[in-house]
Amino acid sequence: MKDILIHVIIFFIAITILSGEVTAQTKTPTLSPTPEITSEEKEQDTIEKIKNLVASRAAELKLVDKRGILGVVIKSSSSQIVIEDHKRNQRTIDIDELTKFVSGKDSFGISDIKEGNRISAIGYYNKDTRKLRASFISVAQNIPVDIEGVVTAKRSREFTLTIADQTGKTITINIETSTKTNVWDGNTISKSGFSKILVGQRMLIIGFPDLKDKDTINASRIIHFTDLPLSSDLRKYQKIDEEAPFSTGSGAKVQPLSR
């Protein structure tokens, strides 16, 4: 009987020990409290994000800016157009799927752009690659040009001048009632007129090519110089007979004067 009682006591002791071990093993671990983010830390994080955004935007603005260019198409492909601007510089225009072509036609696209077309393009100019990524492209009826040359002939009745540029090409300048004429005397610029322009003077012309004659410029602005000497190139094409007919043919080159 004693043996049975001892075995029962041992059994209950074992059960108690095992229950304690199981309880100890399955005890839920204590979690560390989540640290709270203070308002100062949130504000600092926001400031850092703004600083990074501003720095990124500043870097972008240094590299890219909005710009528009005008010129005559030299060549074109499905992804690129090369034009010559009014200063005779070649400019590259990149085309992508977002480029919009504007024209009076119902359907107009890159395939309609041909060599010799005058176009205007507006987009984002990359100062690193020196290319314009076009947002809008349209065919321009006319674009302004600027010319530096020497007056080689003057026709008072027709209100026209003949100019020889630095390459010797002759261009007819049509003076209109809207043409603004100024003179530079070496110190100041003042208002002038057609009658004060002399053959042999150096001058700058800004205007638009005549739609019927590519070698005629309808002048918008003229500046002639009284004291500015001619360059060596222009001096070769200087002519002194003010009212003499000067016919070399459209776009012909003036023969240099013999010395």
**SS3 readout for the chain:** CHHHHHHHHHHHHHHHHHHHHHHHHCCCCCCCCCCCCCHHHHHHHHHHHHHHHHHHHHHHHHHEEEEEEEEEEEEECCCEEEEECCCCCEEEEECCCCCEEECCCCCCCHHHCCCCCEEEEEEEEECCCCEEEEEEEEECCCCCEEEEEEEEEEECCCCEEEEEECCCEEEEEECCCCCEEEEECCCCEEECCHHHCCCCCEEEEEEEECCCCCCEEEEEEEEEECCCCCCHHHHCCCCCCCCCCCCCCCCCECCCCCC
What CATH number has the domain spanning 145-235?
A: 2.40.50.140
The domain 63-139 having CATH identifier 3.30.450.40: the answer here is no
pLDDT in tens, 48-98: 777 776 666 555 556 678 888 888 899 999 899 999 987 788 999 999 888
More confident residue, 247 or 7: 7
Greatest mean pLDDT among 33-42, 107-116, 134-143, 174-183: 174-183
More confident residue, 21 or 185: 185
Give span(s): CATH 2.40.50.140, the chain: 63-139, 145-235
Greatest mean pLDDT among 3-12, 13-22, 135-144, 192-201: 192-201
Can you give the pLDDT at residue 139?
Answer: 83
Can you give the pLDDT at residue 182?
Answer: 95
pLDDT exceeds cutoff 70 at 233: yes
pLDDT exceeds cutoff 80 at 16: no
pTM: 0.50
